[in-house]
Amino acid sequence: MSVGHVARGFEEAGIPTVSVFVRAFRHVAEVMKLPRAVITQHPMGRPLGGPGDRERQRTVIEAALGLFDSATAGGTVVEIGDAWRPGAVNR
């Protein structure tokens, strides 16, 4: 919810925002009516991609940035379908 309140507050003050949520919190983005949100199929605490997975992290950030150019109304939610993949971490 914290992300939602921050995004709503900044947007209401005239600063465009986009938020990233993991799928488990999609309902938060929807009921809080956020300006723009990207949803990832990632486990909690790993919203942008696995550790060291720059390709996935970039995909998510580019999707988020893309909403600044493409969204035409508040409440725009885009879900990225790519399934979670582990990062490169040694045990």
Partner 1 sequence: MTDIEPDPKAETLEEFKNSFSYGARSDLTFKFLKSLSPEDAGEFFRQLLGEVGRSLDHGEAGPIHQLIFDWQVRGYERSGPSHEYDTAPFVAPAKPVSESKVGVLTSSGHFPAWDDPNPFGVENMTQAEAEARISEFMRDTPTLSAIPIDIDPGDLRVRHGGYDVRSVSHDPDVAFPLQTLIALQAEGVIGELSSPMYSFTGATSQGRLRKQALPGWIRSAQR
| Residue ranges that bind partner 1, judged by CB under 8 A | 1-6, 8-16, 23-25, 27-28, 31-35, 41-52, 54, 57-58, 61-62, 65-66, 68-69, 71-75, 83-84, 86-87, 89
H-state helical runs in the chain? 2-12, 26-31, 54-70
Residue 74 or 78 with smaller CB distance to partner 1: 74
What is the helix (H) or strand (E) element at residue 83, kind and residue range?
strand 76-83
Residue with tokens 């949100």: 37
Residue 61 or 78 with smaller CB distance to partner 1: 61
Tokens of 32: 């809080």
Instruction: Work out how close the CB of 22 gets to partner 1 at its nearest, in angstroms, rounded to a whole number.
Output: 8
Three-state DSSP at 24 gives helix
Instruction: Work out how close the CB of 9 gets to partner 1 at its nearest, in angstroms, rounded to a whole number.
Output: 5
Tokens of 78: 């885009």
Instruction: Work out how close the CB of 29 gets to partner 1 at its nearest, in angstroms, rounded to a whole number.
Output: 10
